[in-house]
Amino acid sequence: MEFIEKLKSPNKDQINISKLIRLTKKEKYFLKNDIYCNEFTKKTYNYYGDMNSVQEYLQENLIGINDDKFINILLKIINKVGKCYSNKKYIWLLIRTTNSYIWKNVRWHVDGNYYKHDGTLHSKFIATLCGSPTYGINATQDDKMALSKNYEQFNSKKININYSIIKVGTNNNSKNCQQIHSEPVNVEPNKRRVFISILYGTEEEIEEWYKKRN
């Protein structure tokens, strides 16, 4: 599969896999117009566990309108993206929903390692299902070396990244393959945004990530 080969490449910081997921027109319309966003201003869900149990978690915990349609789309995405990680059967699923938010400043950053290195690239899938997508840049190595020194230099290189696997580094915290990214800024109040992130791993890796975050 071409996506798996790109995932192994140290020369690509992110891979758009929307063609692998292949959302239908009805699914895209639902996400744009009918996805739930109740009266709460912010709600975050975190699931750590076996991919086979994520549906039960979603059915028990989501509290919005049209949850069945939303869950079906989430499961489709989880399973399709999972084809890029055939040896990883556990996940961390983050769902972050907001209906009133404004980021005043761009927060350019790279993610750290998720769990102990085995010499392979670390990566996760991100998508904004509704609302403004995540910012990224097509960074040079000089950009990555200067990340902590001058954020403003990245603003002119800004691109949108969505339905993509982003990489965070190789063995020994190498900067050769790291996606610089940020939350969107200057978003209108009461504008809905639903963001998801999926990290695939072994049972031990996801447990290690859970302990690191909690």
**pLDDT, tens only, 143-165:** 666 665 556 666 777 888 899 98
Distance (Å, rounded) from C-alpha 62 to C-alpha 59? Answer: 6
Work out how many domains the chain is built from and give that number. 1
Give the model's confidence band at 47: pLDDT under 50 very low, under 70 low, under 90 confident, else very high: very high
Strands (E) located in 26-149: 42-50, 90-98, 122-130, 134-137
Tokens of 74: 């989430």
**Whether the predicted pLDDT of 105 surpasses 60:** yes
Average pLDDT over every residue of 108-119? 77
**Whether the predicted pLDDT of 112 surpasses 80:** no
Average pLDDT over every residue of 136-140? 78
Average pLDDT over every residue of 50-74? 86
- Domain range for 97 is 2-213
Give the model's confidence band at 119: pLDDT under 50 very low, under 70 low, under 90 confident, else very high: low
Closest CA to 67 of 83, 79, 51, 55: 55
